[in-house]
């Protein structure tokens, strides 16, 4: 099947702004929509066209991408009164790159299929840096042929692109990813706090462990931010709390105990209670500091 290039993009937040800009750089004609209209301006200045609603985005596109906050937001932009379903032609492909419930994903895919609209769930990992630098990991659920048809689009936004199964499997693998992210971030914060409280030079400790078996993306990126006292978001606490809720809900459905992740969940809930929901996930250091009764940086 000939690959079609008219792409629509819904959701221009921390992730969507960088991802959509990379689609433009790759040469895809792009139509964009965002609830906060001012966030469309950089894309419009770069050559994208603006739309007045998700429905209008779909009317102008062969492939529609959305990346919004939570399951109800995805349902609204895809199935709502001004949603994609009302503007899309038969054969249109919808790629939901949000992180939402696998069960909701399967329900949306079934509704779209009634209108002969194909859907892929393709959540991403790599944060705002990965979105800007085109280094995202993209885990895709849905029909294998549709995945192959959309591969050039994925390659314009990411580096590690994996088809993992049918509808909802992309979301399920993303939740696996988020389990690892949270446990690793907490481990980084605890290890650095341990070194600090024991009187070790933090820079030297960081350099020593980064090159060994403990090395990780979280240590390299968010560990380095912690050494600078930088809590600004690449991925916000409030968004990770949403992912943790989805993880715990799905774990209950499949009867899977998550001991470590339950601890991570409580630590991040404490950050929310302390008013840190807009900070990056590395702000978990604040919860660790409180328990340690000490500060990471003297």
User: Which residues are part of the catalytic machinery?
Assistant: 174
Kindly tell me the number of DSSP H helices and DSSP E strands found in the chain.
14, 9
Q: Which two tokens stand for residue 265?
A: 């969940």
Convert 173-209 to b/e letters by CB count within 10 Å (16 or more is b).
bbbebbbebbbbbbbbbbbbbebbeeeeebeebbeeb
d(CA 250, CA 262): 13
- Per the rule left: phi > 0, alpha: psi between -120 and 50, beta: everything else, 293 is left
Q: What are phi and psi of 274, to 5 degrees?
A: -90, 5
Q: Which two tokens stand for residue 285?
A: 């250091």
d(CA 274, CA 268): 10
């Amino acid at each position: 099947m000939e690959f079609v290039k008219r792409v629509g993009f819904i959701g221009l937040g921390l992730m969507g702004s960088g991802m959509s800009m990379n689609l433009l750089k790759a040469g895809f004609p792009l139509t964009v929509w965002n609830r906060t209209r001012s966030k469309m301006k950089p894309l419009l200045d770069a050559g994208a066209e603006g739309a007045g609603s998700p429905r209008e985005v779909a009317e102008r596109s062969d492939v529609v991408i959305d990346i919004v906050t939570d399951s109800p937001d995805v349902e609204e932009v895809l199935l709502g009164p001004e949603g994609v379903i009302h503007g899309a032609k038969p054969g249109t492909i919808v790629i939901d790159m949000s992180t939402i419930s696998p069960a909701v994903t399967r329900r949306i895919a079934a509704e779209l299929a009634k209108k002969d609209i194909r859907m892929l769930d393709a959540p991403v990992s790599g944060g705002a840096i990965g979105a800007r630098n085109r280094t995202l990991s993209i885990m895709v659920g849905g029909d294998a042929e549709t995945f192959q048809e959309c591969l050039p689009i994925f390659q314009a936004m990411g580096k590690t692109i994996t088809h993992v199964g049918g509808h909802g499997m992309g979301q399920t693998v993303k939740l696996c990813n988020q389990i690892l992210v949270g446990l690793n971030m907490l481990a980084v914060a605890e290890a650095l706090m341990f070194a600090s409280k024991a009187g070790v030079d933090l820079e030297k400790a960081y350099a020593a462990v980064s090159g060994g078996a403990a090395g990780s993306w979280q240590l390299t990126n968010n560990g380095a931010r912690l050494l600078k006292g930088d809590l600004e978001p690449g991925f916000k606490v409030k968004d990770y709390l949403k992912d943790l809720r989805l993880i715990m809900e799905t774990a209950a459905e499949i009867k899977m105990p998550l001991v470590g992740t339950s601890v991570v969940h409580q630590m991040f809930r404490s950050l929310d209670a302390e008013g840190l929901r807009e900070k990056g996930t590395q702000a978990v250091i604040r919860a660790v500091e409180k328990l340690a009764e000490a500060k990471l940086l003297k």
